[in-house]
Structure 1
Amino acid sequence: MRVSARHGRYLEFDDGTTFVPVGLNLSFPRFAKNAEEGLVCYGEWLHELAANGGNFFRLWLGHPFFDVEPDRAGEFDETAAERLGRVLDLAWSLGLRTKVTLEHFRSLETAPVAEIFPGAARFERGQYHCSKGGPVESMDAFWRGTEAQAFYLEKLDWLAERFAGHPAVMAWELWNEINAAQGHGWEVWTEQMLPELRRRFPRCITLQSLGSFCGGYAEPAYRWLCGLPGNDVAQVHRYLDPGAEWEVCRGPVDVLVADAVRTLCEWRTEAGGVTCPVLLAEGGAVEAHHAGPSNLYERDHEGIILHDVLFAPFFAGAAGCGQAWHWDVYVARHQLWWHFGRFARAIAGFDPVAEGAEPVFWETPRLRVYALHGKDVSLIWLRDRRCDWSSELEAGRDAVPVAGEHLCLLSDFATSGLVEFYDPWRDCGWADRQGLNGNAGIALPTFTRSLVVRLMTEAPSR
């Protein structure tokens, strides 16, 4: 897997075939009582994802289920490696690829964290503390000390020996939300470790991630990330959060995730002078300040939030769909896997690299228009402005169908050709086709919440 040589906004396989990640976080079996239950969970999740058009998921190596270093720093557990191998083998058999996140701890000892709800991950790692045989006594020393780095590199070597050639692994991520960890020096540590990661996993994407992009405090870290050498994809985490500093994070989900993608696209281009891939690597809804999964999930049996998390980032210029976080308490609980199939069908046959696709956005009195403008084919996602989580889930008002609307295209779009429609909520379309005539606009079929429009020139340029 690599950044596309033809269009740096996207990813591709070694043979140049475009790869659009369609999936979510399946980071750990949160409520499994033992290893066998955890494997059963992964079996169910991966089969559901693959059956519904998914091709990608993320897992956390630092969780006890996968932890290959569970007791003492530098002592590795073959049993945990075997579990990881079983999950990766199953993924490969189902046509799925994964991103492996190596660490997520924030402290060496128990410390206050926002995530204190049932099933929340633990964020301390006592194995590295000198009182338990580890090399350091603080996170400052972990980031800056050569001894701690040696332990980390030993772990990378051990993993590379077993998994560097595994075909299911497409990306290795140094840390989950590293700026949430204690201590100073994680920036320099990252800059030192990314080349080491690539040296051991040369055929994979190498990455770093930061915490939720929801306030001014996060801006310097994200600007640093966008200019970080060796970080193949600029990842962003953003949630609907009623406690967020920025107003955009308290509004419509499509708007907040699209804004995050656009911002990183701009900053990445400014920093490097070239277009590079961006992914919404975590998204969803939380209680204020990430105190837990959003109570809105209790009412969101249709997946209104999930739909916007999936669609808006890609149509705003991301390399793939947005990747939801709450896989168990939301997606699996309400059996929302079908949304991944709808996204996959919506983009089927559209190659953003071959088309040289560029994101374009505009609004009408009724719609937000997210378009990927291509040479021969353009794909447009329309989102009704009059309904969102606040009207449907909070106020309890049903979405009113959009009827009798015409879509007027911007001047950059072709004025002749063919138009097709796909309704992702009813899973119908692509069969009905109409001609595109001059500047009269497109007569839209009646739809609820969102619609996908495909524009095709009658004389392909390729």
Structure 2
Amino acid sequence: MKTASWTAFLLCLVPAIARAQLSVEADARGVIEARVGGTAYLSDLAVSVVAPGWSGDLANQRAVDPAAVKVHREGATTTYTMPLAGGALSGLLIERIVRDKDGATLEFEVIPDREVELEAVLLRGSLATAEHAGKTAYLVDDPDGARGVLPASLDADRHIAWSGEPDWLGLERPGAGGLRISPQGARLQLQDDRKWNAPHFSLLAMTSGGEVLARKPIRLGVALRAEAAGALAQEAAKPVPAAGTDDRPLAIVAPRLDRDRVDVFATVTLDADVHARYDNPFDPEQIAVDAEILAPDGRKVDAPGYYHVPFRLETRGRAESLKVAGAPGFRVRYAPTVAGAHRITLKVKDASGEVRAEPLTFTAVASKSPGFVRVAPKSPRYFAFDDGSSYFAVGENVCWANGRNPLATYGAWFEGLGKAGGNWARLWLAFNEKGLEWSPAPTPKGGIGAYQGLGRYALDNAWRLDEVLRIAEANGIRLMYCIGTYGEFKDGGFFNEGSWISNPYNARNGGPCARPEDFWTDPTARKLYKQRLRYLTARWGHSPFVFAWEFWNEVEPSPVVEAWTSEMAAYLKAIDPNRRLVSTSYGSPPIWNDSNVDFTMTHMYGQGGGTLDFTDRIQGETHANLKFGKPYLLAEFGIDWQAGDEKWDPEGRGLNMHNGAWASIASGAAGTSMLWWWDGYVHPKNVYHVLTPVRSFVDSIDWARNPMKPLGKIAVEAPADAPETFADLTISSSQGWGRTPSNRYTALRDGTIEGGPVATTLGSPRRGGDGKELYSEVAWTLDLPEAGKVLVRIGEVCTAARLRIALDGREVVDRALPAGEPGKGPWKGARLLEPYKVWVADYDEDVAVEVPAGRHALTIANADGDWMQVKSITLPAYRSSRFPDVDALGIAGDDLMVLWVHDRRSTWRDPYAGEPPVPRKGLKLAVPTDSTDAWRVEWWDTFRGVVVRTDEARAGAGALTLAPPDFERDLAARIARTP
């Protein structure tokens, strides 16, 4: 048995106000104990790598054999290098203890040998309850000013004392010096481990998880510093003040405008000293501040006001902090939409009555601003500005920044996006650094910012959102504000996104809802949500750079959700002076048909790199949504819902983003496919370049005045003198979950599929749900030129399944497919589906079926168990070379057509697999049209955004026949009727 020896580093720190002594001791594995004087603040401090879903450790520093650890000392630095191994992970851990005159910095690098999926890298140290429970105080230098005492006894529902990304967190035991912990590249969490029957508290420093590439280091660390007794409390940030109260007689004092002359669509701000009686300045039933505007055209407009606290931004190193910079007050923002003299009157109402100020005047002058984005009146499947010019959305998601410098981060993102031609981005206003309403710390799923609970808003985050909007406007980017997300109403989840435990609407937090589903029907919950909508409209509704309000991210529609959405959309339209666009996700026919919901949206991902080309899915989703007669956006998009596009495109070529954008354009969407992976892919790999040629192309089209609809099938033919050959055809399933419109498909010789999109997941008849969620079988009609083996590729299996395949009604395959832990069966991998505590096994296996030549029916079914995936089928020698493997998508109006011609071999996997593009030569297109007119055809290089050739062509016999230039990967066409 080996015994770990101890190496001690004693660091004597002498602050000016008193002496405090920090001792950092590390054993042979580098496991640390940190003391200040005689108090052990952090014991057993070491790194572990956590498996997805917090289902255990992939590797743990504490389990490393000391004999395998190499120790190197040089000057003030001691370095420990050791192997990490366990389960799916193998790699290296490098730990450095760096001493300086002020303390010690602990740096850690985890370097995996191979690609691995993980939940987090975790640096954990413990505080013994016998020494610290009921005694040791914690203080956080953060806007919420969190502070408290580690509890004497466990509160199982409040086991997380604090969680966030502070400048520092301090611990101080009475009568002892304190310990300051400053995170580096990590989020901190202080929790009570007695919840799991462990006799200690834990301080966790953790990174985010996901797919990690081989040899890509994951870095985190903390800086430790001893402090004299009481010093931490003196230095800790003063918390953002709670919302004010007032008990003065109702009055308006000194109303004032920030300017008396303003551009049309720019903002004028009205401030005043307001006296009233209230204890919640956000509750319009206690105090309502509004402005009444009389426009020069005679219209009367009501604009709601809001309560605010001014802040200033301070930066220390790269860390940002917000400091209160003045007195709180009430304010109204308004953007005039017409030129001329305006009269604005402030009015305030409380329980005692209403008072009105004397009117003030300002003049709006004509400007170059195009105004707010609307649905185009003449082309209602597209967007237009107030001045009638077109707006085609080109952009991505940038939902949160987190980190210690969110404003600088947004500045970098928006600069990159704007310079590339992007004009649209989506933000989340959930409980991140821009959120308004959440449970205050301490709470198990804490947010970022000075949250004040239900019906009261985080004013530091509101100021930060002001700045984010200002940065976006400076870069020409309009923002869609997504107000909430489905995770607020659940627990668990693949990404551990469930947050109902900390939702302020939860009755256990003092809210009105005993269950998540009560949120949609409870009168108090609906009233409080409308109150938040009023605040959003009052504070940001003035800006033309707020593109739209999106109620939810990925909340599943139901009758009560549909009724709620209708109610809230009508309310928003009633209180928003500018009646900006409104939408939500997910939608349903009742939602999309609502007159107050302006555009439709969906989200689209593959899984595990199984979808190479999303073109058919994008076209199908777009066409299905266009039937509602409204603009459509594919608002989230990515290769793999579980891992960023950087996993599949490590060089940042951007082919998936490129193909998605052009497929959306040519299918009839009102914007590009909005990629999700902004922070780990688009920005660090500078994939913004994909959008530059897209913007050049869409700016060449007047979408607002050219209503267009999808074209019928565009025939693509190879050169007539080429011999006919047949190649294998692989048909990837295109809808990862849920029932598709049909489960019966026909594979044509040109490679297209009738009846698609193709369902991926089959649920057994025993699964429940009356088969409404998943089909139990899919049926294929095939016509093989010659006999051969059809390959059915099996993907993931949840719990168990039973694969049955029938050919022309005769069963040819009957196979049980169990699931279990990794390495315990015939599957290639497995993951624990944490919310349900069941195993999902990935078979990634082809099942062969001998099929004779000719026409046949092939049925693939899941006869038992839970669910299974059919990822693809491959048909031998099926595709005729007379029909090239090329997509031709198009939309057309009376005088304009848009085409995208795409070699289906050009996918994100080409550069991933090192496969060079192969030129397409001599193709012919037959574009369906009733026209017999002449057309001017501009052929566009989609990677450079320039016209490479211009042709003249005349339509006839039901088609416009075109001969595109030779191309690699894809090209686009803008086709205009010749006058």
Which category describes the TM-score, using the shorter chain as reference length?
Answer: 0.7 to 0.9
Q: What residue in structure 2 maps to residue 343 of structure 1? A: 694
Q: Secondary structure at the match of 2:634?
A: strand
Match of 1:53 in 2: 421
Question: Match for residue 575 of structure 2?
Answer: 200
Is 1:281 the counterpart of 2:635? The answer is yes
Cα offset, 1:224, TM superposition: 3.6
1:417 to partner: Cα distance = 3.4
Residue-by-residue CA offset, 1:406-441 (whole Å, 9 max, x unaligned)? 33332435652322211112x163253233256694
Is 2:549 the partner of 1:172? yes
Unpaired runs of at least 5, structure 2: 1-372, 441-452, 717-882
Does residue 563 of structure 2 align to residue 188 of structure 1? yes
1:328 corresponds to which residue? 679
Tell me the secondary structure at the aligned position of residue 179 of structure 1. coil
Give the aligned residue type for 1:167: P
Matched, 1:430 2:802: no
Q: Which amino acid aligns with 2:952?
A: G
* Contact in 2 for aligned 1:69/1:76 (Cα 8 Å): yes
- 1:73 is aligned with what amino acid? L
Which of residues 126, 129, 135 in structure 1 aligns to 2:506?
Answer: 129
Aligned position for 2:538: 161
Decide whether the 8 Å contact of 1:257 with 1:283 is kept in 2: no
Give the AA of the match of 1:344.
R
* Residue equivalent to 2:930: 412
Q: Does 1:112 pair with 2:492?
A: yes
Q: Partner of 2:902 in structure 1?
A: 383
CA distance in 2, matches of 1:161, 1:284: 34
Q: Deviations over 1:13-69 (max 9, x none)?
A: 22322211111111111xx422xx111111011111111111111101114210122
Letter aligned with residue 535 of structure 2 = W
Q: Decide which of 243, 248, 261 is 2:622's aligned counterpart.
A: 261
Q: Which piece of structure 1 moves more, 439-448 or 18-27?
A: 439-448
Q: Report the equivalent of 1:272.
A: none
Aligned counterparts of 1:355 and 1:263: Cα–Cα separation in 2: 20
Contact kept? 2:646, 2:652, Cα under 8 Å: no
Residues 92 and 167 of structure 1 are in contact (CA less than 8 Å); yes or no, is this contact kept in structure 2? Answer: no
- Give the SS at the match of 2:422: coil
TM-score (normalizing by structure 1): 0.84
- 1:12–1:395 CA distance, 2 compared to 1 (3 A): same
Residues 376 and 383 of structure 2 are in contact (CA less than 8 Å); yes or no, is this contact kept in structure 1? yes
The answer to whether the 8 Å contact 1:342/1:424 transfers is: yes
Q: Secondary structure at the match of 1:88?
A: helix
Q: Residue 408 of structure 1 aligns to a residue in which SS?
A: strand
Please tell me whether the aligned partners of residues 101 and 172 of structure 1 are also in contact (alpha carbons under 8 angstroms): yes
Contact 2:416 2:683 in 1 (8 A): no
Confirm or deny: 8 A CA contact 2:600 2:630 kept in the other structure: yes
User: Is this contact kept in 2: 1:423–1:429, CA < 8 A?
Assistant: yes
The 8 Å contact of residues 395 and 672 in structure 2, kept in 1 or not, is answered as: yes
Greater strand proportion: 2
Higher mean displacement: 335-344 or 449-458: 449-458
2:949 aligned partner, one-letter code: D
Asked whether the 8 Å contact 2:562–2:591 carries over to 1, the reply is no
Task: Give SS of 1:185's match.
Answer: helix
What is the percentage of aligned positions where both structures have the same residue? 25
Report if aligned partners of 2:378, 2:706 keep a CA contact under 8 Å in 1. no
Q: CA deviation at 1:455?
A: 1.9
The whole-number CA distance in structure 1 between the counterparts of 2:543 and 2:653 is: 36
The CA deviation at 1:253 is: 1.2
- CA separation of 1:121 and 1:301: change in aligned 2, threshold 3 A: farther
User: Alpha-carbon deviation of 1:302?
Assistant: 1.0
Residue 226 of structure 1: aligned partner:
592
SS in 2 for 1:444: coil
Query: How far apart, in 2, do the equivalents of 1:184 and 1:156 lie?
Result: 22
Alignment equivalent of 1:304, drawn from 655, 667, 673? 655
* Cα deviations by residue, 1:119-154 (Å, 9 ceiling, x for unpaired): x79676422222223222221221111111121111
Q: Which amino acid aligns with 1:283?
A: F
SS of match in other structure, 1:283? strand
- Look up the equivalent residue of 1:450 and give its one-letter code: D
Counterpart of 2:434 in structure 1 is 66
State the 1:107 CA deviation: 4.1
Question: What is the CA distance between 1:97 and its match in structure 2?
Answer: 0.9
* Partner-residue secondary structure (3-state), 1:106: helix
Equivalent position to 1:75, from 449, 456, 459: 456
- The 1:44/1:375 distance shift into structure 2, 3 A limit, reads same
2:888 corresponds to which residue? 369
* Larger Rg computed on CA atoms: 2
> Could you list the per-position Cα deviations for residues 297-337 of structure 1 after superposition, in whole angstroms to 9, with x for gaps in the alignment?
34462111101221111211111222111112221132110
The higher-RCO structure (CA 8 Å, 6+ apart) is 1
- What amino acid maps onto 2:634 in structure 1? L
2:504 partner SS: helix
Q: Are the equivalent residues in 2 in contact too, given 1:414–1:457 (CA < 8 A)?
A: no
Q: Who is 1:215 aligned against? A: none
CA distance in 2, matches of 1:233, 1:208: 9
Equivalent of 1:316 in 667, 677, 690: 667
Q: Partners in 1 of 2:890 and 2:644 — Cα distance?
A: 31
Contact 1:207–1:231, Cα closer than 8 Å, also in 2:
yes
From 475, 480, 499, the equivalent of 1:99 is 480
Separation of aligned partners in 2, 1:166 and 1:224: 29
Gaps of 5+ in 1: 211-220, 244-248, 269-274
SS of alignment partner, residue 454 of structure 2: coil
- Deviation sequence 1:189-211 (CA, Å, 0-9, x none): 2222111122232431011111x
Aligned residue type for 1:139: P
Offset of residue 12 of structure 1: 1.4
Number of aligned residues:
422
Aligned-partner Cα distance in 1 for 2:560–2:961: 55
Higher helix residue share: 1
Counterpart code for 2:648: Y
- Structure 1 residues 333 and 170: CA distance shift in structure 2, 3 A: same
Q: Which amino acid aligns with 2:538?
A: E
Deviation at 1:82, TM superposition (A): 0.7
How far did 1:188 drift?
A: 2.1
TM-score by length of 2: 0.41
Counterpart among 390, 410, 427 of residue 42 in structure 1 = 410
SS in 1 for 2:928: coil
Give the match's secondary structure for 1:237.
strand
Aligned to 1:89: 470
Match of 1:33 in 2: 403
Per the TM alignment, residue 261 of structure 1 is displaced from its structure 2 partner at its CA by 0.9
Give the superposed CA RMSD: 2.6
Q: 1:42 & 1:369 partners in 2: Cα distance? A: 37
Q: Determine if contact 2:506/2:516 at 8 Å carries over to the other structure.
A: no
Q: Which residue of 2 aligns with 1:356?
A: 707
